[in-house]
Amino acid sequence: MTDQLVIGIAQINPTVGDISGNIKKIRAAREQLQAVDLIVFPELIVSGYPAEDLVMKPAFSNQCKAAVEALASDTADGPAILVGSPWPEGNKLYNAVALLEAGRVSAVRYKVDLPNYDVFDEKRVFDAGPMPGPINFKDVRIGVPICEDIWSPDVIECLEESGAELLLVSNSSPFESGKTDVRLNHVVARVTESNLPLVYVNQVGGQDELVFDGSSFVIDSDRKLRAQLSSWEEDFAITKWRRNESGSWSCDQGTVREVTGELASIYQAALLGLRDYVEKNGFPGVILGLSGGIDSALSAAIAVDAIGADRVRCVMMPSPYTSQESLEDAAACAAMLGLKYESISIGPAMQAFDAMLKDAFAGTDEGITEENIQSRSRGLTLMALSNKFGHMVLSTGNKSEMAVGYATLYGDMCGGYNAIKDIYKTKVFQLCEWRNKNFPQGAKGPAGNVMPERIITKPPSAELRPDQKDEDSLPPYDVLDGILEAIVEDERSLSDIVSAGYDEDTVRRVWSLLDISEYKRRQAPPGPKITRKNFGKDRRYPITNSFRREI
């Protein structure tokens, strides 16, 4: 009977659809972890996650399965591997893990509990597997539940009753603020119920609007943390396991890396999400409008930290309403980040539109239309530079603005990606202060301050008319964000929000702005999920919606 096992954890960053590239990463990890018996990889590592409807293409899912079967030959000697992949079987398609050992696929298990809420659509693309029994590896009965299978007791209870001795869980669990504790609580609950130790292996990296933080870990049957891998980067660990006198398995104490705090995690999620979006889609760099305001300053800092100042182009696009402070702050921010600063005035475009529309607009007053022309002139300028030189436009609107529609279609909403799309304005202020005092893990930007303090302290303004301030037409951001979080994140009722101390008329107005802006959000660029309910797959409201009249 085997009394010792050495299990490797491979926390790697796949690319959706790059089957050969992902297999290459698996092979590289195996070379790095040769001194182990078994290596555990994240969920659907062969296809990348989430591959969405791509997995329903027979050519794709069949190629994934064939790649796994070919990979099995690598295990004729050296460590076995537990690898996640789509798995077609007859007229069924499963989310599976396969044990590869001794040169063959020795066992396959299927995911039972397919999540179908928030960002997850697995019931759309996969068939649910039957309740699994453990896999026999070196005479050790190993349970291999997959991700959501451990978020409720049933699958683990089945594995325990079937004689499982330890649990190896492959995951692709996307980041959201506060989720580290949620995951740990679920794992501790399953360990407590089953009295089985558990290895939790999560993928890392960005995939469109999802970011995976890694943070893989091991919890022993005594509920003690035996190993903790890094967050936000590929990482590997070797864990040593022993069967004790009672026949139970226990893990030796390993390295426990520090998990990043809230602000650091949010910043890292935005950084990694942008970096992988740029790199995996092959963009040479990004271009953004640097206005002298806080949102564009934070976006520029994230971009420089993600891909380096040499790949970030920033443009100030002043109008007659741009303040001297904004000109100075934008130039100072660019200098602090090591960016080349250029200025392209939109004044000539404004004059051209005035002349073009003079007869059509005759007899009307200036207002939002003229303000939007300014924003669209800036969007047109950035898109022209993007088309000419290939840099992706990075839009810079925060979640508070996107919620209430304080953004211009085909203007400041132009872009291929938005790193702060799911970050409320109050959190933007906190992140800017945090970045000036901290150097992010893996950042390519400078240490120290990356923006002038005045950018953080001055009242926010779109500067589309004289002396304009955001709070001329919106509640203070701490009030606005409190109301929005209650509506969007918590789905609280009007009476609940008012009872929490918010003015009823203000709540009704914010709620109305949120509802009528749905059409804009449908046309917004993607950005990394940060909160529990991002605008996208998390929150799917109809554009044509008469229920809002009942609020």
**CA–CA dist 39, 469 (Å, integer):** 56
3's tokens: 């009394």
Strand order in the sheet with 312-316: 341-343, 312-316, 286-289, 392-393
Which residues, in sequence order, are CB contacts of 352 under 8 Å at separation 6+?
A: none
Where b means 16+ CB within 10 Å and e means fewer, 482-510 reads bbbbbbbeeebebeebbeeebeeebbeeb
Are the CB atoms for 532 and 539 separated by under 8 Å? no
105's tokens: 């696929």
What's the distance, CA 448 to chain centroid? 26
Residue 375: C-alpha distances to residues 153, 312, 351, 425 (Å): 52, 21, 14, 20
Backbone phi, psi, residue 145, to 5°:
-65, 155
Which residues, in sequence order, are CB contacts of 430 under 8 Å at separation 6+?
A: 263
CB atoms within 10 A of CB 241: 24
Of the candidates 324, 345, 408, which has an alpha carbon nearest to the alpha carbon of residue 371?
408
Length of the chain: 551
Are the CB atoms for 275 and 247 separated by under 8 Å? no
Pairing of strands 286-289, 312-316: parallel
Are the CB atoms for 291 and 329 separated by under 8 Å? no
Pairing of strands 217-219, 235-243: unpaired
**CA–CA dist 204, 197 (Å, integer):** 23
**CA–CA dist 214, 235 (Å, integer):** 8
**CA–CA dist 192, 284 (Å, integer):** 49
**CA–CA dist 140, 125 (Å, integer):** 33
The residues carrying an active-site annotation are: 43, 111, 147
Taking phi over 0 as left and psi of -120 to 50 as alpha, with beta for the rest, 72 belongs to alpha
